[in-house]
Amino acid sequence: MKLLQVPTANLEERIKEELEENPALEVGEDGHDDFEEADDFKSDSEEEYDSEGSTDEYDNIDLSDYVHEGDDEVGDYKLRDENYPEMDEGKVIPIRVETSFHEVLLNQLGMMELDERTQKIAEQIVGSIDDDGYLRREMSSISDDLAFRQNILSSEAEIEGLIKQIQQFDPPGICARDLKECLILQLKRKTGEGKEVELAMQVLEKYFDEFTKKHYEKIQRGLSLTDQQLKDVINQIIKLNPKPGGNIGFVNKAESYVVPDFFIFNNNGILELTLNSKNAPDLRISEGYRDMIKDYEKGSKKDKRQKEAVLFIKQKIDSAKWFIDMIKQRQQTLIGTMSSIMNYQKEFFLTGDETTLKPMILKDIAEMTGLDISTVSRVANSKFVQTEFGTYRLKFFFSESLSTDSGEEVSTREVKKILSNLIEAEDKRKPLSDEQLTDMLQEKGYNIARRTVAKYREQLNLPVARLRKQL
């Protein structure tokens, strides 16, 4: 189960760990299932050793006299012809230089002329800024951190003064305590660019709550703005960056990349499923370890030291066989589960139309594959499939059913897609309410309640009609 949950991107690392821990396991260079020969390893003489004693009796035995380096295969590096280097050896792998967001701020801090004490206080403030550019830590907490960790006593007024200086750094809006301050800091950099900038600052300073709730009528009455002035003010504000630290610096994170576990191709109407090659490594039992067993069986003198070596070898071979079997079982489970999903949702994989998705729950696939529901759930939650329409998590294809007026069962994902299309096509000056959306869906034959429409809309991260309204 643990091996099944390992993503494809991390499976190679997991196999490397096993190869390092178990010298009896190795990566094969051809497709032969050499590890199947390991079934013949357990001879009658070995069974005697299992009953005769355990490895506890031989803790102080030195195996170096009996297991020589030459017993194993010769390393690849010894067989390499230096006159004909491998193709990959000539390639130069470029290394990307990565700069974090905090390094960008510290570089700007280094341009300020500060004494050692003030520099440490400023560095503490910069270190307290979140990745999105906000300073959410209280000044009293920053003061306490400086006192306890660096033995620097500082007042909140001194910290506030340094915060004001750091707020002048790029990008604009950095080191703000909340969204309101962040937007105002950005507008201050635009002072002198027009009257609409000054009006935008007044809106944020006096009517910030009304602006976030889109109560534009109150703002218009309070500041005596014309319709055109209100539009200009809103345009100024929506161009600002609510997360100034989000686009600064870049750190490579493995989890930001999606490595598909499956590939589905449409070959003239016939779906072809393939497994990512990283999921099917060629593993086998080391030939060196098999030769050790054979040499032992040929020998006439069998003392306790040799028995100890055989017990060790047998343990490693059994462990390697188990791991190879688990990798194969993982492949079979993945292919079986994905094949069932592909056949169940064949129409979607042919057309890419989300409205063609059938209602499908974990139990349906579990019955088709003969697997446990928990096993199907593990595969669905952690695996991705690449199609010609995009890359999807397997969980995407699972959805509950909803009955239409005609009694036909449709996928809730189909209803969400239609709901999303209705909202996308609406007149943004007069957005559709949940009641109107419910009526439109019922007209299409979907038997659905208003509260269900509201739930689906929230799951699609779509706000209520009032917040979708545009001037």
pLDDT band at residue 68 using 50, 70 and 90 as cut-offs = very low
pLDDT band at residue 471 using 50, 70 and 90 as cut-offs = low
For the ranges 232-241, 328-337, 352-361, the lowest mean pLDDT is seen at 352-361
Question: How would DSSP label each residue in 300-364?
Answer: S---HHHHHHHHHHHHHHHHHHHHHHHHHHHHHHHHHHHHHHHHHTHHHHHH--GGGPPPB-HHH
Where are the domains positioned within the chain? 101-166, 179-238, 401-468
pLDDT band at residue 59 using 50, 70 and 90 as cut-offs = very low
| For the chain, percent of residues with pLDDT exceeding 70 | 77
Q: Residue 193: pLDDT above 60?
A: yes
3-state secondary structure 386-432: EECCEEEEHHHHCECEEEECCCCEEEHHHHHHHHHHHHHHCCCCCCC
Which of 7, 19, 2, 10 lies closest to 283, judged by CA?
19
Question: Could you tell me the fold of the domain covering 401-468?
Answer: Arc Repressor Mutant, subunit A (1.10.10)
Q: Residue 404: pLDDT above 50?
A: yes
pLDDT confidence of residue 403: 63
C-beta of residue 200 within 8 angstroms of C-beta of residue 236 = yes
Mean per-residue pLDDT over the chain, rounded: 77
358, two tokens: 């059938």
More confident residue, 141 or 257: 141
326, two tokens: 């688990």
Reported as type and span, the H/E element at residue 239 is none
pLDDT (mean) for 239-247: 82
Tell me how far apart the alpha carbons of residues 339 and 238 are, in angstroms, rounded to a whole number: 46
pLDDT confidence of residue 229: 85
Q: Residue 56: pLDDT above 70?
A: no
pLDDT, tens digit, for every residue of 130-139?
A: 888 889 889 8
Q: Residue 75: pLDDT above 60?
A: no
Q: Residue 250: pLDDT above 80?
A: no
pLDDT band at residue 372 using 50, 70 and 90 as cut-offs = confident
Q: Residue 85: pLDDT above 70?
A: no
Reported as type and span, the H/E element at residue 32 is none
pLDDT confidence of residue 369: 87
Q: Residue 94: pLDDT above 70?
A: no
More confident residue, 337 or 62: 337
pLDDT band at residue 215 using 50, 70 and 90 as cut-offs = confident
pTM for this prediction: 0.51
Please provide the distance, in angstroms rounded to a whole number, between the alpha carbons at the two ends of the chain: 54
Tell me how far apart the alpha carbons of residues 357 and 413 are, in angstroms, rounded to a whole number: 7
Q: Residue 397: pLDDT above 50?
A: yes
pLDDT confidence of residue 45: 39
pLDDT (mean) for 107-127: 89
pLDDT band at residue 66 using 50, 70 and 90 as cut-offs = very low
pLDDT confidence of residue 1: 74
More confident residue, 196 or 40: 196
pLDDT confidence of residue 409: 63
How many Å separate Cα 182 from the centre of its chain? 29
pLDDT (mean) for 91-104: 67
pLDDT confidence of residue 255: 46
pLDDT confidence of residue 248: 61
Tell me how far apart the alpha carbons of residues 316 and 281 are, in angstroms, rounded to a whole number: 19
